[in-house]
Amino acid sequence: MKEYNVAIVGATGAVGEEMRKVLEQRKFPVKKLKLLASAKSAGRRLTFKRTGVTVEELTKSSFKDINVALFSAGAQISKEYAPHAVRAGAVVIDNSSAFRMKPDVPLVVPEVNPDDVSWHKGIIANPNCSTIQMVVALKPLYNRSRIKRVVVSTYQAVSGTGKEAIEELLNQSKSVVLGEKKVELNVYPHQIAFNLLPHIDGFLENGYTKEEMKMVNETRKIMGDDEMGITATCVRVPVLISHSESVNIETEKKITADKAREILKNAPGVEVIDDPENLVYPLPIFAANKDACYIGRIREDESIKNGLNLWIVADNLRKGAALNATQIAEVLLERNLL
């Protein structure tokens, strides 16, 4: 099998570390792995396939002989360095928001719109983590009946903000349990331990946050339906890993709860866990470190004619980021586009 030179930009971050794990676990044919990060992280040794790999400082000339560059270092880094990677001959799979809504950049979830990789011009965007797990669940139902409207509330883990946010939650939790009067705030504007923050990313003039509008705009682009009505409320919760979503949909034709379960049980990337009588439903701690999008609490919305409620949980670092990016690379490989 042909092997490929792969670079990970942002290799020491939470998603970058997960990308390294996923590449190894899925046996992606890596000939050489290049780990790139800031000057502060350069020189660190990380393990890949039982071999130590030294982290290098990211520069404009870092991409010589690289076939695939997985970016997860923020939008500004992607905007600055992705064009250099493309000019060097690499296909960039970018995990930031830098290119997602550009009309000439595919926004891809392999279970939903894999054919879109065919028209890339060097850059393929990885969607927002919350968008990914939602569209994986929605697409099989959409194929049965067009979805007219989506109302989603997210419950997002702190790992979506990064390693510092994980440390903040753990440190604050210890402080609260020990009865300390003050908790230290470094990452979030308010205490996250034992609390909820209805605020992810900056607020916009329309009263929504950037995260909420990402879900609206990205879902329409991925699903290829600009007329779909979507509204979102995104909430940060004191959970380490795995985002959860309460999703209400209105379809053009009736889909019963039983039919929805049947459809979703046969859908790619999905596992249905829906046995409320025995208190069985998806939980963040169960989804952590797993690849599937877990769906439960499937029931008909009795307030409208053609409505369904879903509870969706997935590991935001894996399917919400590293796994989806690797799956995009696998689609490119399968279609001889590398």
pLDDT band with cut points at 50, 70 and 90 for residue 177 = very high
Domain boundaries, the chain: 4-127+321-334, 131-316
- Residue 309, H or E segment: strand 307-314
> How high is the pLDDT of residue 181?
87
Check pLDDT > 90 for residue 123. Answer: yes
Check pLDDT > 90 for residue 161. Answer: yes
Topology match between the domains 4-127+321-334 and 131-316:
no
> How high is the pLDDT of residue 230?
98
pTM of the entire predicted model: 0.96
- Residue 21, H or E segment: helix 14-25
- Residue 209, H or E segment: none
Average pLDDT over every residue of 115-122:
97
In degrees rounded to 5, what are phi and psi of residue 332?
Answer: -60, -45
Q: Amino acid identity, residue 67?
A: N
Average pLDDT over every residue of 216-238:
98
Average pLDDT over every residue of 133-162:
98
Average pLDDT over every residue of 185-205:
97
Average pLDDT over every residue of 176-183:
94
In degrees rounded to 5, what are phi and psi of residue 272?
Answer: -90, 125
Q: What is d(CA 273, CA 230) in angstroms, rounded to the nearest whole number?
A: 25
Q: Return the ∠ at Cα 79 (arms to 78 and 81), rounded to 5°.
A: 65
CB 157, CB 235: distance < 8 Å: no
Check pLDDT > 90 for residue 125. Answer: yes
- Model pLDDT for residues 3-46, shown as the tens digit of each residue: 999 999 999 999 999 999 999 999 999 999 999 999 999 999 99
Residues in the chain: 338
Question: Which residues belong to the active site?
Answer: 129, 243
- Model pLDDT for residues 246-269, shown as the tens digit of each residue: 999 999 999 999 999 999 999 999
Q: Which CATH class is domain 131-316?
A: alpha beta
Return mean pLDDT, the chain.
97
Average pLDDT over every residue of 146-151:
98
- Residue 290, H or E segment: none
CATH, domain 4-127+321-334, list 1.20.200.10, 1.10.3210.10, 3.40.50.2000, 3.40.50.720: 3.40.50.720
- Model pLDDT for residues 272-327, shown as the tens digit of each residue: 999 999 999 999 999 999 999 999 999 999 999 999 999 999 999 999 999 999 99
